[in-house]
Amino acid sequence: MVKTVLICDDSALARKQMNRSLPEDWDVEVLFAKDGQEGFTLCQTEQVDLMFLDLTMPVMDGYQVLEKLQHQSKRPDVVVVSGDIQTKALERVTAMGAAEFLRKPASRQEIRHILERHGWYVPKPERTTPNELDAVEVSEMDAYRELANVAMGRAGSLLAEVLDVFVKLPIPNVNVLESSELHMALQAVDEYSDLSAVCQGFIGDGVSGEAFLLFDDTKFDDMAKLLGHEANLDNQAEIEVLMDLSNILIGACLKGIAEMLHIHFSQGHPVVLGQHCRVIDLIAANQNRWQKNLAIEINYCVEEHDINCDLLLVFTEESLHVLSENIKYLVEG
């Protein structure tokens, strides 16, 4: 019988949402961990019966936690709850001992269903453990990071499906930036010798911005093969590769954000922003387009192919108030 539940997620919003979604009449003690290392340590020092485990976390990610738990005699049942919804992610965590896999954000019905199916949930007349996390304030930036995490996972899953690969997903960078700080947001791509970029505008329900896909020029041949382009890559063929990638990543990422915030985006046509140029030149040529913005930066890495690309979502300053109001509904849910 489950007595102690551990919710392990680096997002305060995700921890709060999961705790709030547990059955009210389930008489269990709920513990919380902010990263995989903290979660693994709690599994060794406390009697944890069931763990809800995120995959994308700092210090130690969910895969590493599962790997370490395999070698422990004292280990809880594990339900992975993740924005990384690739089929190969499901296969990997299942092989590593996870009992269930839930896509973020998991609904009350989905959680209750698996709890009942495994016999973990036994209703009591009244839940006796105080719901302490409801008193914890979730910062707006934490909510944006969780929003980016889920959207990133949707886009990564679609890319993995199209290319038949496993896509490594990072912890997204989320910041409110002045235009002069944009270079810092792009520091992850500074190592590229030359890059090509596509931008695509979006607008809907008071929110607008631009999405940028930045791709390392040296990886065009590898990406073209994965996308099924057989002809030799001339300038036009490289543009087609860029457009294919932007359609996959930008569309899926914006769809994920729109679904969570209950808004609808209309997207403009993707435009080649630059080819075979340096990051600093790209910024210099376009910095008048970017003022104070909310910037979400995601680096996608294709495993075993050494292919990287960066997706940058920039929301306009005029959008920040609307986003802030929508985020409040998400937090207070």
Q: What is the pTM of this model?
A: 0.86
The strand pairing partners of 101, in sequence order, are 80
Q: What is the rounded average pLDDT of the residues 262-285?
A: 76
pLDDT per residue over 127-183, tens digit each? 555 555 555 678 888 999 999 999 999 999 999 999 999 999 989 988 887 766 666
Side-by-side strand order, sheet with 29-33: 29-33, 4-8, 50-53, 77-82, 100-103
**Burial class for 282, CB neighbours closer than 10 Å (0-12, 13-18, 19+):** buried
pLDDT band per the 50, 70, 90 thresholds, residue 273: confident
pLDDT per residue over 60-82, tens digit each? 999 999 999 999 988 999 999 99
Percent of the chain with pLDDT over 90: 50
pLDDT, mean over the chain: 86
